[in-house]
């Protein structure tokens, strides 16, 4: 980490010429695939089977716990207290606010939030988590690049759906869409993009390439996470013999 990266502007707007703008352009097809996935389409038209929604909630709660641990890795890699404040505030947001979309989904499924929790991670959720945790053993830049598709895909899709469909409170997933399309929009994603842009400026070509690969893999995992919920993915490939 060079001293220049500690001067990263916190809270500025990401520039269109920056590293993350390039990531967004080069991997735009993955954002479209994310958008087109039948699970997200079901969140748009409100037709999702309850068991798919519940599978998602159980796995996603574990995913958020792992995301919090990644903030812990970020805290350990933080060059100064401004960075620590960033991870501290970001962790508080997940702990205090990000359970809301899960509550919306549990209400839809008619199941108490506590009863939707699971112990065991499905293969895709486990693989995504392992990928993020491994990025945290590389560098702050690679870690944050791996963490970026998470808010970027959700807030992008949220803002797009709110603008295109203008759903009202009668929509069964209104609170979910409103959370990612409004409350978590911009702020979370733009702040992270500014940080990744600053770190990429200081990184050498090899580290920038690892940042891009980490970002791309996380985009794929975001799509696979929908697929995991859609197919009720679990470890056994076939039912146990009787
Ligand atoms: C698989 C998966 N990907 C993204 C999110 C959304 N999300 C989770 S943590 C975070 C960062 C901001 O607090 C955001 C936007 C999710 N819930 N599950």
Q: How many domains does the chain have?
A: 1
Closest CA to 139 of 57, 219, 79: 79
Whether 43 is in a domain gets the answer yes
- Per-residue model confidence (pLDDT) at position 6: 45
**Residue 65 to residue 95: CA distance in whole angstroms:** 9
DSSP one-letter code for 186 = T
**Residue 148 to residue 20: CA distance in whole angstroms:** 9
The reported pTM is: 0.94
Indicate the range of 22-31, 111-120, 135-144, 233-242 predicted with least confidence.
233-242
Ligand 1, residues at Cβ distance < 6 Å = 60, 63-64, 67, 93-94, 98, 150-151, 154, 184, 188, 222, 225
**Residue 27 to residue 29: CA distance in whole angstroms:** 5
Position in ligand 1 atom list of the atom nearest CA 94 = 13
* Residue of 154, 183, 192, 217 to mutate, ligand 1, most atoms within 8 A of C-beta: 154
pLDDT digit string, tens, across residues 223-233: 999 999 999 99
Is a pLDDT exceeding 80 seen at residue 67? yes
Query: What CATH number is given to the structural domain containing 173?
Result: 1.20.910.10
What is the value of ipTM here, to two decimals? 0.98
Whether 8 is in a domain gets the answer no
Instruction: Over range 164-180, report the average pLDDT.
Output: 97
**Residue 8 to residue 141: CA distance in whole angstroms:** 12
Atom 10, ligand 1: residue with shortest CA distance:
151
Whether 239 is in a domain gets the answer no
What is the extent of the structural domain holding 143? 16-230
Is a pLDDT exceeding 90 seen at residue 184? no
Position in ligand 1 atom list of the atom nearest CA 101 = 17
Position in ligand 1 atom list of the atom nearest CA 150 = 4
172: left (phi over 0), alpha (psi -120 to 50) or beta: alpha
Q: Which two tokens stand for residue 41?
A: 């389409």
Whether 241 is in a domain gets the answer no
Whether 151 is in a domain gets the answer yes
Please work out, in degrees rounded to the nearest 5, the angle formed at the alpha carbon of residue 186 by the alpha carbons of 180 and 191: 120
2 or 202, which is more confident: 202
């Amino acid at each position: 980490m060079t001293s220049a990266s500690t001067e990263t502007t916190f809270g500025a707007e990401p520039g269109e010429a920056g590293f993350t703008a390039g990531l967004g352009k080069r991997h735009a097809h993955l954002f479209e695939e994310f958008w087109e996935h039948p699970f997200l389409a079901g969140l748009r038209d409100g037709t999702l089977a309850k068991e798919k929604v519940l599978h998602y909630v159980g796995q996603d709660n574990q995913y958020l716990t792992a995301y919090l641990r990644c903030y812990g890795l970020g805290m350990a890699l933080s060059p100064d207290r401004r960075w620590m404040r960033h991870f501290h505030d970001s962790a508080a947001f997940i702990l205090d606010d990000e359970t809301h979309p899960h509550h919306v989904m549990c209400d839809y499924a008619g199941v108490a939030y506590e009863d939707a929790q699971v112990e065991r991670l499905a293969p895709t959720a486990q693989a995504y988590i392992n990928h993020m945790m491994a990025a945290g053993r590389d560098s702050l830049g690679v870690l944050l690049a791996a963490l970026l598709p998470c808010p970027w895909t959700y807030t992008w899709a949220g803002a797009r759906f709110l603008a295109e469909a203008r759903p009202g409170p009668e929509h069964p997933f209104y609170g979910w869409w409103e959370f990612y399309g409004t409350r978590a929009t911009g702020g979370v994603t733009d702040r992270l993009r500014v940080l990744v842009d600053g770190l990429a400026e200081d990184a050498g070509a090899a580290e920038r390439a690892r940042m891009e690969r980490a970002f791309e893999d996380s985009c794929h995992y975001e799509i696979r996470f929908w697929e995991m919920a859609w197919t009720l993915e679990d470890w056994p490939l076939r039912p146990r013999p009787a």
